[in-house]
A = this chain, B = another copy of it.
Amino acid sequence: MLHHRRTKHCRECGTAVEYRVPADDNRERAVCPSCATVHYENPLNVVGTVPFWEDKVLLCRRNIEPQYGLWTLPAGFMELGETTAEGALRETVEEAGARFDLLDLYSIVNIARVGQVHFFYRAQLLSTDFDPGPETIEARLFSESEVRWEELAFRTVRTTLEHYFADLRRGRFGLWCTDIT
């Protein structure tokens, strides 16, 4: 769901906030009645990769909620101080323990309903030895026919994999921009 109205107290002074439309604005925001701080709540970016080896892609089986036990591309929330590419690289190291070269941005998926934008870069694997971190039960390569589509953790992952295997068949990779409603 959309995480609106999740601010109850002012981050500056701790006073309980009120939701109202500030002057020179047209949306309700959490406003502090004491110190007048306006709290903006904005979409979050999720950054990850499509790591590939020959005709296979690397998927990670999640060791954490949400979607414990299901399969995902390595991805996670973008952090302050990094670029989308740096975040994608970091998440792929953390979750899959893979060695790879980061290639072009491949898939951008908007999920307005939950206030997220997902970015996936193609990543050319340099080895088939993986050393996944604590967030991953198992990291494994799957060809298109081996992917367990009903056991994928997220629709952003399904959409990106569908595009990827279609592009792999035609031998050409572009940038996909998809909206999930």
Give the interface of A toward B (CB within 8 A): 2-4, 6-16, 24, 27, 39-45, 77-86, 104-105, 108, 110, 112-113, 115, 117, 134, 175, 177, 179
Would you call A86 and B108 a contact (CB within 8 A)?
no
Q: Which of A4, A14, A24 has the most CB of B within 10 A?
A: A14
Would you call B13 and A11 a contact (CB within 8 A)?
no
| Choice from B14, B77, B79 contacting A15 with Cβ under 8 Å | B14
Would you call B175 and A27 a contact (CB within 8 A)?
no
List chain B residues, Cβ under 8 A from A134. 24
Bound CA span A3–B175, Å: 31
Would you call B16 and A112 a contact (CB within 8 A)?
no
Bound CA span A56–B111, Å: 33
- For this chain, the copies found in one complex come to 2
Bound CA span A39–B112, Å: 22
Q: How far is the CB of A27 from chain B (nearest CB, A)?
A: 7
Bound CA span A145–B61, Å: 54
Q: How far is the CB of A80 from chain B (nearest CB, A)?
A: 4
| Choice from B8, B15, B104, B175 contacting A12 with Cβ under 8 Å | B8
Would you call A177 and B42 a contact (CB within 8 A)?
no
Q: How far is the CB of A23 from chain B (nearest CB, A)?
A: 11
Would you call A7 and B14 a contact (CB within 8 A)?
no
Bound CA span A6–B45, Å: 19
Would you call B83 and A179 a contact (CB within 8 A)?
yes
